[in-house]
Each structure stands twice: as structure tokens, then as C-alpha cells.
Chains A and B, each alone.
Chain A
Amino acid sequence: MLNSATASRRPLGAGSTLRGVRALARADRARGWLFLLPALAAYGMFVLWPLANSVKYSFYNWDGINPAKWVGLSNYGQVFSNAALYSAIEHSGILIIFFSFLPTGLGLALAAFMRSAIAGRLGTVARVVIFLPQVVALVAAGIAWSWLLGYSGAINQIFYTPIDAVLKLVGLGAAKQAWLGSFQFALPGVGLIGVWVMLGFCTVLLTVGMGKIDPSLYEASQLDGAGPVREFFDITLPSLRQEIGVCLTVTMIAALSAFDIVYISTQGGPANQTMVPGLEIYLLAFTNREVGLASALAIVLVALVVVCIVPIQWYVNRGTQS
């Protein structure tokens, strides 16, 4: 039976074999998409669909209840011409220094210090302590820091009471103040909270990155005559390209989309001095009922994130490929 069945079959040529392989590959691909389908559906429903709607509403004037009215690009024009909205974007740029550059730089220094100076259990304890702000809810962090930076908060009590005594002695006014209520210091104050929150994340990530660097590279550089500073710049820093890229990406997104810390600690005040796009979008959409303008600002924010992140990713990928 088997022989006759085999004999009746047309012999497989090169073409039919290729067709068979292609059919199998197609079936495999289809199966792969099937596995992806649930995740794709969720992504489409909760990310792509709202994003598309935001893009759509950014061209409309809509209060969220009455029918939307097409206004073309006028919402975008308002984003860049309205001083309040524009300054919110500017504040985001300043917050990037506090949320992103400072934690990454300080994290590098801390991680390098911990690698060389703190070993064993002490190192583990140090890492946990530094990482702790990451597990604290941002709302709680915002409340705690608004107390700390208040007029009778710990910062004034510890640092400025002695200074005030000296200032009064020489006939000058007090330095003590409510830092988050100050026009000059409110934004850096919010930024300080960002440094505190992001530093743990950056330090831990960079410490892990440093742990992956082959110790023989340091040994080779030592025999080549390099000291600790050269080691840091010639071995550590180039080896952490990926980790630094991740730190900058995550913290920049956090800076540009900052909402909870600002909302809790200053609510954008005093006089919009700490207003950021995240909070502005919320206020426009749900308080002022200007959904179209809020959507336009949100789209500009997304574009800003892309503009900031793409060069970092390019830098990281270039290093990884080489």
C-alpha cells in the first residue's frame, strides 16, 4: 500500500519544495501574529486609538459635550503663541536638567564611588537606601517635600536658621522662606524633588551596568598606566553607553510628562511659575473644557518627547553596533 501510494505521487522537484517551504513559513508567520493579537488589541485600544483621537481633536474646538467644531491648525498656533502655554513647555525644558541630567550625572558619580569604595553588605544597604525614593508614591513624595520646603519645614530649620541669625546680626533680612511659594525658587524646588526621585533609579541602573564591565579592562588599563580618573572616562563611561541612554530616556520622559509631583507640591504656582505641559493639559481639558487645545498641547508634548529621545537612542545604538 505504502509503496503504491508513494509511487503514484508526483516526484518533488526543486520548485515544489520551495513552494512547500514558503507555505510553512506563511503558516508560521500567521501563528506568530495570532500570539501577538491580544497584546496588539490592547495596545490599539488603549494607546493607538486615544492617540489618534487626540490628533483628531487637536484640529477641533470642543468642550467635551457639544458637537466639535473644525478649527484647523489654530489650536497649534495658540500653543506656540500663548505665553502661558509656551512657558509651560519652557519649564519642562528646565525640569529636564533636574529630572534627567542631574540624576544621571550624580548617579554616575555615586555608582563609581560605590563600586570603588563601598563593598559587600554596606554597598547593598547603600544601593537600597538610594533606590528607596523610587518605591515611594510620587504623590506621597510631593506632599513630604512640600512640607520639607515649607516656611517652617526641615530645610529652613536645618540650613537657614543659623544663616538667618548671622544675616540679622549684620543688619540684613531673613533668608528663610517658603521655597515652593517663591517665584525664583519654586521651579528648582520642584526640580529638587525630581532629583531625589530619579537619582535612585539612575544610580541602581548605572551600578548594575558597572557590574557588567569586564574587570580585566580595568586591570589592562591600570597596567597601561591609567589612574582612577582616566579609568572612569576611558573605560567606565564608554561601557555605560546603553545604561546612560536608558537613564536619559526614562528621566526625560518623566520630566516632560511631569504631573503628580507638580500637582501635589505647587499646582503649577506661584503664578504659573511651575506650570508644566502635563498639568496644563489636565487643567485645559477638565477644568477649562478646552479639549481641542489640550489635545494640541499633548501632541506637541509627544513630538517634543520624540525629538529629545531619538538622538539619545541613535547615540546608544551607534555605540552598541560598533
Chain B
Amino acid sequence: MASLEFDAVSKSYDQQHWTLRDLSFTVSDGEFLVLVGPSGCGKTTALRMLAGFEDISQGEIRIGGVRINETPPRERDIAMVFQNYALYPHMTVADNIGYGLKVRGMAKAERRARVVKTAEMLGLSAELDRKPSQLSGGQRQRVAMGRAIVREPQAFLMDEPLSNLDARLRVRMRTEIARLQRDLNVTTVYVTHDQVEAMTMADRVAVMNGGLLQQLDTPQRIYAHPANLFVATFIGSPAMNILKADLSKRDDQVWCKVGDYSFPLPASTLNANPGIRAALGTTIAIGVRPNAVTVTGGQYPNGLPGEVRIAEGLGSEVLAHIEVAASRVETEAASEAPDLPLGHTDTSIIVASLKEESLIARGERVTLTFDSEHIHFFDPQTGASLRSGAATAPSSAPTLADLSTAVQAAGAERVV
């Protein structure tokens, strides 16, 4: 087992466009790190650079403190579970699992013993003489795991290993992989676009977008304190509601105004978000998770009036999509949401998570209030959280570089 280090690693295929930029983080010995992000964010590229399948344009990768930029994959002593499992189709399960040992010249008897032991651990004892084409998806996935485990490598790399499984099997294998990793205590880097996998399996999660690391922290802290608008909207399902809000000071109190709804911010919120004071008199973005929205039937003052557009019963909860007269903030996630009335930025759809017994119907008029302790405040230009005290900045449209700078300047989160 060993620690893994990315030190200012960048990747470009043409020295003009950067697939990955200045990626720096350390995965401690035995830690389970999940790289999560949308397609094209650079997470798989980072993993492939670690495996040795992609050249490193800039920076340095170290395994156990040793620079491995020029080390060929076969000498890195790492194992990888591929998205399509990459099982050797002409070999039996036993041969697949034991191939790495055979290549390394291990004696046949010892090899067989280790293969059998690994197969027992994974519940594959009865399948040892079968070919991959005769196995189910879950069994193939376990064979791929077995091939990684049997060599006792310094680190496991996993590239979306559950994406080819059906939903039920995915949940089961998720637990199994997490359990195996804990039992074996092997340093693991796991790539996925599925935030549920990231949140449930990881010791720490690295959220990536546009080739930049957005935030690196524990799942709980990433959910509770997103470093910027991207992380806020990417992590959490349903996604966080993002609205425009005006900040002002009146009667020695800081007020936040969303649409026609004004509410004072308590001292604890101001202390937790020092950037708010610097943003007084400006428009910022606030984020409210669906479970921090309180919905009251009828329309009252001291709340944000709205009308229920859709009510989705999920069994354990009801998701109410409520249209309110408040400007929304265009984010990557929001622009992909199909239920927003595109072209009308002065109205927004707020999603509220209600208890299953809530009797709410389409067309019902309601009033929304927010729990100010659980509101997230962001600079609408840079996207950075105001927890850090970052100043509202660039007048031009934010670029990824701006976002990165702002996120790095934020510093409150473990952003690199």
C-alpha cells in the first residue's frame, strides 16, 4: 500500500486546450478517494495518467513518494478495474484472476492457492473454470475485482466499474466494493459520474469540472459546504435551488431579498459567511437545498408566494416543483433542467422535498420560507462560496480560470 500524489498535473493534447489543469491532491495510504464530475471533466484522464496510459504534460505524479511520470504501467504495481471489466475472453475465470501472478513468474501451486482464496473472498469459487462470456454482469465485475485484488498492488484504480450494471446490482456491488476496500485497506482512486456512488463510498470526494478540481473534502462537508455553485448544484439530488438575492443593511440588520420576500440573516449566518458583509448592496446567488424549503398552504406575507407546477410522489417523500416570482441564476445544472420556463429569468422553479403524507396538488398556491441557517451564499460572477469571504469580482462573464482562482482563493474548503 502507498500514498498517491498529484502535484500540479496538467494534460493537453495540443498545448492549447487543457483537458486537465494544475491538479494537485494527495490520497493517503489506505484512503478511498472518489473523483466525480460530469462527462469530459477530466476525471478519467487523471486516472489514466495515474495508470500510465496517458502522458503527463506538466507536473508530477508520485506513488509512495516516488515519481512515476516515466514509469511504464507494468512497473507501477497498481491494479485497475475497467468500465467494461476488460476480462480476457479466451481465458477462464481462474486464468483471468491469476494472469498477473503468472506473468510475474509465480509458481503454479502458489498461484492456484491465491486464486482460490481470492475467488472464495468474492464468491466466485464455483465459476473458476468458466469463461467470462458465461458469467453475469455482477460476476464479471467480481472477476475484475479479483484480478485487481490477487496481486496485492500498491493501489486500486477503478474507472466507473458499476456503470454497466443494473440499478439493483449496482447498489449491492457498491456496498461490496466499499467493504472490500475497507477490509484490504488498499489506497483506492475511484472514478464515477454518479454522485450517489461518490457520496456513499468515499472517504473523500474530489469534484471536478472542466479539467479543474472544484473541491476536495469528505462527502458530508462537500454536501454541507459546497465551495462554489458548480459543486452546490452537482452534489445532492434533487439539486440545490439557486436564486438571485439582494443584500442590504437596515436597522443594523443584514437583509436578504428574494423576489418580494425579505428576511433578516442571523449573526451566526453572517459569521459563517464573512463574504456577505463585503457583498452588501449587491446581488448575490443563494442556494437552498430542497429539504431546507418550508412550504405552507395558502399565501401569506413574510414568505415567497408560489404555485405548485408538479408534485412527484417518490414513496418516502414528495418533490414539489413550485414556480415563484424570483430570478434564477443560470448554472450548468440549471440550464439542463427541463422543468424551468426557459426565457423567463424573473421566475424560477423551486424544488421542495416534503414528507410523504403532505397533501399537495398541482395548481395549489403556497408560500415558501427558507431556513436561513441552511442557506448557501455565492458570488454570482465567480460562483465561489461567500463562506470564504471572497469578494464579488470580475465584471466579465466568469471563465473556468476565474472560477478556479476564486475557488482557490476561497480557502475555507479544502480546495487545491
Task: Report A's interface with B, CB cutoff 8 A.
Answer: 214, 216-217, 219-227, 230, 234-235, 238-239, 241, 319, 322
Minimum CB–CB distance for B307 against chain A, Å: 49
Q: Is the CB of A230 within 8 A of B103?
A: yes
The listed residue with most B CB atoms (<10 A of its CB), out of A221, A238, A241, is A221
Q: Is the CB of B89 within 8 A of A225?
A: no
**Besides the contacts A220-B80, A225-B103, what 7 more A-B pairs have beta carbons closer than 8 Å?**
A216-B82, A219-B51, A220-B86, A223-B76, A224-B147, A226-B74, A241-B90
Minimum CB–CB distance for B151 against chain A, Å: 8
Q: Is the CB of A217 within 8 A of B90?
A: no
Q: Is the CB of B99 within 8 A of A219?
A: no
Minimum CB–CB distance for A240 against chain B, Å: 11
Q: Which residues of B contact A235 (CB under 8 A)?
A: 88
Q: Can you give 13 A-B contacts (C-beta < 8 A)?
A: A219-B53, A221-B99, A222-B52, A223-B76, A224-B151, A225-B103, A226-B103, A230-B103, A238-B89, A238-B90, A239-B89, A241-B90, A319-B90
The answer to whether A214 and B86 touch (CB under 8 A), given A223-B79, A322-B133, is yes
Residue of B80, B89, B103 near A219 (CB, 8 A) is: B80
Q: Mark B80-93, 1 if CB is under 8 A from A, else 0.
A: 10111010111000
Q: Is the CB of A222 within 8 A of B133?
A: no
Q: Mark B139-172, 1 if CB is under 8 A from A, else 0.
A: 0000000010001000000000000000000000
Count residues of chain B with CB under 8 A from any CB of chain A. 25
Closest to A224 in B: B100
Among residues 64 to 111 in chain B, which have CB atoms less than 8 Å away from a CB atom of chain A?
A: 72-74, 76, 78-80, 82-84, 86, 88-90, 99-100, 103-104
Closest to A238 in B: B90
Closest to B133 in A: A322
Q: Is the CB of B74 within 8 A of A219?
A: no
The answer to whether A225 and B82 touch (CB under 8 A), given A219-B53, A239-B89, A322-B133, is no
Q: Which residues of B contact A219 (CB under 8 A)?
A: 51, 53, 73, 80, 82, 86
The listed residue with most A CB atoms (<10 A of its CB), out of B73, B82, B133, B151, is B73
Q: Is the CB of A217 within 8 A of B88?
A: yes
The answer to whether A214 and B73 touch (CB under 8 A), given A223-B51, A322-B90, is no
The answer to whether A234 and B82 touch (CB under 8 A), given A222-B72, A225-B104, is no
Minimum CB–CB distance for B241 against chain A, Å: 40
Q: Is the CB of A216 within 8 A of B86?
A: yes
Residue of B72, B84, B86, B88 near A234 (CB, 8 A) is: B88
Closest to A322 in B: B131
Query: 9 tightest CB-CB pairs across the interface, nearest first?
Result: A224-B100, A216-B86, A238-B90, A220-B86, A225-B103, A222-B73, A225-B74, A216-B82, A226-B103
Q: Which residues of B contact A222 (CB under 8 A)?
A: 52, 72-74
Q: Which residues of B contact A224 (CB under 8 A)?
A: 74, 99-100, 103, 147, 151
Minimum CB–CB distance for A224 against chain B, Å: 4
Minimum CB–CB distance for A245 against chain B, Å: 14
Closest to A220 in B: B86
Query: What's the Cα separation between A255 and B296 when bound, in Å?
Result: 87
